[in-house]
Amino acid sequence: VDPKAKYRRVMLKISGEALMGDQGYGLHPPTVRRIAEEVQSVQEMGVEICMVIGGGNIFRGLQGSAQGMERTTADYMGMLATVMNALAMQAALEALQIHTRVISAIRMDEVAEPYIRRRAVRHLEKKRVCIFAAGTGNPYFTTDTAATLRANEMSCEAIFMGKQVDGVYDKDPKKHADAVRYDNITYDEALLKNLKVMDASAFALARDNDLPIIVFALDEPGGFKGILAGEGTYTKVAG
Ligand code: UDP
């Protein structure tokens, strides 16, 4: 492992929307490729990488249920959307010669491996990127929860939340010019100040297991690698 890397095994969570570029929907191949290159530069440091990608660029359960669909069905559709995103990311990573496994929480053996914890750990040890798809496999959850759950199961040292902003602010930096970014904040402070780091069940899972959450800007080229080396701006939420 590159001595500059502060972590040896990490989880990278990105939303589905991160893959749609400036389109309003779906996948934007150049954007997918760019994120794959970000992952590549970290993988070249010898860091073991887990990934969870949301599905919001294709389908969100809540949006389906608002239109009258049964919530559980809508949620399963959302989970299937994450599988499509995972396959797109796998293709982009493999085009860069990075061995990648898509591991699905819902069995679909023709397209992805089933989730077997020990097997996934083995992939990581062999420096394969593991993309965990289909969320937790359960309705009423989000991919933030899936990312935190798998990060804990895989003994990741931190969860990296790739966002459009470079950290957690005291108020929305897109609306308030005087918003202040936190460098370091504790779980309790974040809760007390009602800062939206991730959804509540995911946050509880991170906090209860002392999993540091690092919020950084994904659209900063070289950002992911920099953050792993402790450079650039980000917020670390920890105990
Ligand atoms: N989902 C679910 N269970 C999970 C993870 C995801 O039911 O464990 C569904 C849920 O409907 C959600 C959709 O999948 O709206 C897409 O995931 P998410 O909204 O987390 O994607 P993101 O906002 O990160 O793109």
- Domain membership flag for residue 97: yes
Residues 177-204 have a mean pLDDT of: 96
- Domain membership flag for residue 4: no
| Ligand 1 contact, 135 CB (< 6 A) | yes
One-letter amino acid of 75: D
Residues 18-46 have pLDDT tens digits of: 999 999 999 999 999 999 999 999 999 99
Other beta carbons within 10 angstroms of residue 21's beta carbon come to: 16
Query: With bands split at pLDDT 50, 70 and 90, how would you rate the model's confidence at 234?
Result: very high
Q: What is the ipTM of this complex?
A: 0.97
- Domain membership flag for residue 51: yes
Look at residue 13 in the predicted model and tell me its pLDDT: 98
Number of domains forming the structure of the chain: 1
Q: Whose CA is closest to atom 16 on ligand 1? A: 55
172 is in an annotated binding site: yes
Look at residue 191 in the predicted model and tell me its pLDDT: 95
* Closest alpha carbon to 145 in 237, 13, 4, 35: 13
Query: With bands split at pLDDT 50, 70 and 90, how would you rate the model's confidence at 12?
Result: very high
d(CA 66, ligand 1 centre) in Å: 15
- Domain membership flag for residue 226: yes
Distance between CA 93 and CA 39 in Å, rounded? Answer: 8
Secondary structure of residue 111 in the 3-state scheme: coil
Distance between CA 170 and CA 183 in Å, rounded? Answer: 11
d(CA 141, ligand 1 centre) in Å: 7
Atom of ligand 1 nearest to the CA of 144: 20
- Domain membership flag for residue 2: no
- Domain membership flag for residue 80: yes
The domain that holds 216 is classified in CATH as 3.40.1160.10
- Domain membership flag for residue 3: no
* Closest alpha carbon to 134 in 75, 89, 88, 91: 75
Secondary structure of residue 235 in the 3-state scheme: strand
Domain that holds residue 220: 9-238
Tokens representing 84 are 């499509």
Instruction: State residue 148 phi and psi, 5-degree precision.
Output: -70, -40
Q: Can you say whether the dihedral through the CA atoms of 66, 17, 103, 237 is positive or negative?
A: negative
